[in-house]
Chains A and B, each alone.
Chain A
Amino acid sequence: MEKKIGLYICKGCGIGEAINTEKIANIAKNALRVPVVVEHDFLCSNEGIELIKKDINEQGVNSIVIAGCSPRVKTYEFTFPGCFVERVPVRELAVWTIESPEEQQLAAEDYIKMGVIKAQKGEIPEPYVIEINRTILVVGGGISGMTAAVEAAKAGYDVVLVEKEAELGGFARKLYKKVPTDDYTKGVLADVNLEPLINEVTSNPKIKVYTSSKIEKIDGQPGDFDVTIAKNGSTETIKIGAIIQATGWKSYDAKKLAKKYGYGKFKDVVTNFEFEEIAKRNNGLIKRPSDSREVKSVLFVQCAGQRDPEHLPYCSGMCCTTSLKQARYVTDNNPEASAMIIYKDMRTPGKLEYYYKEAQNTPGVMLAKGEVVGIREEWDKLYVTVKDSILGEEVEIETEMVVLATGMVPTTKEPQDYLNGLAAAAAKGDEEKAKYLETTKKPEFILNLGYRQGPELPFLEGGFGFVDSNFICFQYETRRTGIYAVGPVRQPMNMTDAQEDARGAALKAIQCLEHVANGIAVHPRAWDTSFPEPNLTKCTACKRCTEECPFGAIDEDEKGTPFYKPNRCRRCGTCMGACPERIVSFKDYNVDMLGTMMKNVSVPEEEDRPRIIVLCCENDAFPATETAALNKLKLDPAVRFIQLRCLGSMNLVWIADALSKGVDGMLLLGCKFGEDYQCHFAKGSELAKYRLGKVQETLDRLQLESDRVQMYEVAIDEYWRIPQIINEFMDKIREIGPNPFKGF
């Protein structure tokens, strides 16, 4: 269908008074050859909208540029199905933020021109749709995995559940009793009662269970994964749509606590996990390992090897409640027995406080804040030294048995540590890498992804081996599209939380399937039907896109030729920004489109009228700019804002092109990066910064000062910083002086 552009300039909200819209209309008609140009006093009124609709129906207008206010306001009014719509916030960017009438006019002209170029160069994307498989693979058959499987099946989806052990149940199998889910008035110890859940899994025709099985390989992309499952020496490859990793945790190696707590040295010092086994084995009777005698006193040491920089620096969240429960194993069967819990802080958040309260009211259960500093054995008793407690500065407590509340280590930690070590060795050269491979024992991998960026879910810096989300707001944001981690492999959590988590992950897996079925991206651009379309005939196999993609969406062969897997893609455009050959394009977002916009920004010839292009992240820096406008903060009239999907899509060619056209400086506004990164595409802003490091070269070639291009990290709420940053940058630019290419 032939493109027909309609430009609609609103004169409301003071635009008409500030801007000579007629002049712009004439530029659009003549210089930009826009066939339909309309000025209107109140474009968002019914009359205005009807007028546009009429042009669509009668004149065949199909690409619409609305020059008026930001879509933050009038969000829904300018919706024209089937049409390409571009909003140009002239009110915010020209009228509200610029003071001089002459500069307001020029800004409005520039922004409208850029809007028209976008409409000229942009196409409505055709979604990437392939035949998909809707089966969900759940890896791990513990509580989290089984819950995810059952819940996904209840929503009508087929599930394949793979468990490495011979039986389902995971860690819960080892428990004697569990903490009731919510209500503690009917007792504080509940039966684990795994059988109903296991039966639900095994009897559900929608769920296929593989026990004693492992994932040998996963290839492909969401909606179309090829998963190879190994069982008893034979393998089977099946089609899968989305994946849930629920591989759980291991208990911290208590041998490492030998020095501190005498574990291994004293037979009656056991871990909380061993204590469960003791209770289960003897059906509730607590018989100590050394002489199998039933004990009347047990002391629990909280945070054993936890909240401890030498062991696990984090808190496992569940051990306080576990010890409160296990204390009842001691007291419930024996009215004369006592359980003492020595804790740093009793952590029973939310309604678990009621559980704590129950324990406080139980005769025989004693609780004290303190630090256990040593344990010794004398005859058949243990003596525990406790410091800084309410009991005194330093006291020794006699007990028959000690339980160490040790913590959770995610199953992902070992593979991660190995892969991190490998990456570090490889960074030092081939020799180091070979040495590492030779000398380091390879742990068992879990997912075995056939991805160019590695076989497992990527680790989170500072995440202690948990494959957690970095986002507070988006718990399942995953950097491997269509693969969702769940339960204690994601973060320390108790059984109830793990079940909630399993439902969440199941929903996300379902959502991913429904999105890829329709060629729509998954979070955060959960509406986007565009996808990267590389022109591979011009590809030089430089591997930048395959290395930089934050989501591992691009594989490569030995020669380095990239293979784009669109269903893994999140549409951030990092590949587009990375490519030195500029071959990656989206239908509605590409290097040519944005480059042409930049090249068409006015560059005043006067030396004292600099021109600056600001490339900013559309989710954070740009809303901050619009908020600055709403607060009527004034900006230097030199700036022209251009929104990017993510700063990661910033291609260096834009900088070279703009500067060679006489633009005096480029300012990049992106999200915070580093350990607490705020970039919604994980690495986008960081990669922009990295590329910027390389721009020096380009600028040197042009014999320009590298300070002409700078990047700032700006959060969405820092609207007040926008004018400050711009002023700071403008001072620098004025100090450097005008771009010598001006006027060429």
Chain B
Amino acid sequence: MHHNGSPRILVIGGGFSGLTAGIEAAETGAEVIIVEKNPYLGGRVAQLNKYFPKICPPLCGLEINFRRVKVNPKIKFYTMSQVESISGTPGDYTVKIKINPRYVNENCTACNVCAEACPAERVSDFNFGLNKTKAIYLPFEQAFPLRYVLDRTACPNDCPAPCVQACKYNAIDLNMQAETIEVKVDSIIVATGWKPYDATKIDNLGFGKVKNVITNMMMERLASKNGPTGGQILRPSDGKPVEKVAFVQCAGSRDENHLPFCSYICCMASLKHTLYLKEQNPDAEVFIFYIDIRTPGRYEKFFNKVLEQGGVNLIKGKVAAIEQAPDSDDVIVTAEDMLSGAKIHQKVDMVVLATGMQPEGMEFKVPGLKYAIDGFVVDAEGIYSAGCAKNAMDVAGCGKDATGAALKAIQIGLRR
């Protein structure tokens, strides 16, 4: 670089946006620290089966980004970590980072012997509770870092810890403690992303009460080969392959009582899910209940491609109720077709709620940052949001946004 000293940047969040921002900045010469709360990098997209519109695997791009991280000495990252405090001014921030214990150290060779020995199970958060893992587990096969992690909350009190004995490489350390480190940076990129809106809060949609009502993110896991059903889309209550599926758009989005904004991705996601279904069962029939189908730009082509599949029923109208069929695990969706005025009672095998993106900042706020009432980050000089911490957007939008945030962040460091 033709300036004195490299810009120092903290990136909060190691998902798609955070990784992009961090890597793009580092590849201009900046020193980057990425803080990620999960035990792995990749965030939300690591849970996706495929991306729209190409129906390509997220791991493909993650693999390249992981490789860029691995070879770049300017990037440091901490998993299982969170920012505890931020103080200072643009060009001179002091940040405290708490690193939570993984209980598995760098000796781990990912040989799986510990998990084989482990007697305890935990509900898989990666799979949205659709199955269980051992208490000591690998987040997923292509995780980076490729290292096991122990969920101590799942360990029985009196467990003789056979994992510790099984590991020949002393990789398991039950006494590992949380530690706090302090770093100095010039600027901060906030890429804390989103989580699926809690569908139990939407009373009339039956999630958690009616069997076989799932969310769109659960659908991703069901369709994933490394998911709880080995990639077969089977409904949770009885493992039956599905023939008729209803998608409820704007489940929680565009709704003053829930998320006031549009979550951008859910229309495309439901159309993509239609392709997942059609691939497994060309005769599958879907019913998409929507307010507006939002497939902006070139995505229109994808919309048309899905419609060409046949068996795709688009119904403009809000869903009034979702109830269990009286004599089976089937589900009945009640809605009004706004165009014809007809009242619809559609019986389906499974309902997928196109639940929206809740910005992490809605419930969990990084100390020292400013948030708008809807949970999105408010930028300030030296502090730049990227991706879904800023607005609801798709992966492509996150890539673009995060690259732009990287530029804003390095400008602060160069001015110093």
In the bound complex, CA of A155 to CA of B395 (Å): 26
Query: Which of B21-29, B84-92, B274-282 participates in binding chain A?
Result: B21-29
Q: Are A620's CB and B392's CB within 8 A?
A: no
Q: Which of A69, A76, A350, A524 has the most CB of B within 10 A?
A: A350
In the bound complex, CA of A354 to CA of B391 (Å): 12
A491 / chain B contacts, CB cutoff of 8 Å: 297-298
Residue B293 CB within 8 A of the other chain: yes
Residue B236 CB within 8 A of the other chain: no
Distance (Å) between the CB of A449 and the closest chain B CB?
A: 24
Q: Are A151's CB and B262's CB within 8 A?
A: no
Number of residue pairs spanning A and B whose beta carbons lie under 8 angstroms apart: 235
Distance (Å) between the CB of B133 and the closest chain A CB?
A: 14
Query: Which of B49-57, B150-158, B198-206 participates in binding chain A?
Result: B49-57
Residue B71 CB within 8 A of the other chain: yes
Number of residues in B with C-beta < 8 Å to the partner? 86
B395 / chain A contacts, CB cutoff of 8 Å: 472-473
Q: Are A315's CB and B60's CB within 8 A?
A: no
In the bound complex, CA of A719 to CA of B70 (Å): 22
In the bound complex, CA of A507 to CA of B24 (Å): 8
Q: CB-CB contacts of B313-349 with A at 8 A, as 1s and 0s?
A: 0001000000000000000000000110000000000
Please, which residue of chain B has its CB at the minimum distance from the CB of A460?
B298
B391 / chain A contacts, CB cutoff of 8 Å: 350-351
Q: CB-CB contacts of B70-89 with A at 8 A, as 1s and 0s?
A: 11100000000000000000
In the bound complex, CA of A597 to CA of B338 (Å): 67
Residue B403 CB within 8 A of the other chain: yes
Q: Are A354's CB and B54's CB within 8 A?
A: no
A684 / chain B contacts, CB cutoff of 8 Å: none
Q: Are B146's CB and A717's CB within 8 A?
A: no
Q: Are B298's CB and A472's CB within 8 A?
A: no
A720 / chain B contacts, CB cutoff of 8 Å: 225
Q: Contacts A44-B109, A317-B297 given: A73-B407 contact, CB under 8 Å?
A: no
In the bound complex, CA of A49 to CA of B61 (Å): 31
In the bound complex, CA of A468 to CA of B399 (Å): 13
Q: Are A471's CB and B301's CB within 8 A?
A: no
Q: Contacts A472-B51, A515-B27, A678-B56 given: A315-B295 contact, CB under 8 Å?
A: yes
In the bound complex, CA of A351 to CA of B116 (Å): 47
Q: CB-CB contacts of A460-479 with B at 8 A, as 1s and 0s?
A: 00111010101111111000
Distance (Å) between the CB of A56 and the closest chain B CB?
A: 19
In the bound complex, CA of A76 to CA of B56 (Å): 29
Query: Which of these, B24, B109, B264, B407, contacts A155 with CB under 8 Å?
Result: B407
A353 / chain B contacts, CB cutoff of 8 Å: 254, 260-262
Residue B100 CB within 8 A of the other chain: no
Residue A500 CB within 8 A of the other chain: yes
Please, which residue of chain A has its CB at the minimum distance from the CB of B397?
A497
Please, which residue of chain B has its CB at the minimum distance from the CB of A505?
B403
Q: Contacts A45-B169, A347-B292, A463-B298 given: A155-B65 contact, CB under 8 Å?
A: no
A130 / chain B contacts, CB cutoff of 8 Å: none
Residue B195 CB within 8 A of the other chain: no
Residue B411 CB within 8 A of the other chain: yes
Q: Are B28's CB and A510's CB within 8 A?
A: yes
Distance (Å) between the CB of B399 and the closest chain A CB?
A: 4
Q: Are B3's CB and A504's CB within 8 A?
A: no
21 contacts between A and B (CB under 8 A): A12-B168, A44-B109, A74-B109, A75-B70, A155-B407, A155-B410, A307-B300, A317-B296, A345-B293, A346-B292, A350-B392, A353-B254, A472-B56, A504-B401, A514-B28, A526-B72, A623-B59, A630-B141, A678-B60, A716-B142, A717-B59
**Apart from A156-B3, A345-B292, A353-B261, what are 10 other A-B pairs with CB-CB below 8 Å?**
A13-B109, A155-B410, A314-B301, A315-B299, A369-B292, A390-B338, A492-B297, A527-B68, A619-B63, A631-B141
CB-CB nearest 4 A-B residue pairs: A473-B61, A503-B404, A504-B403, A717-B57
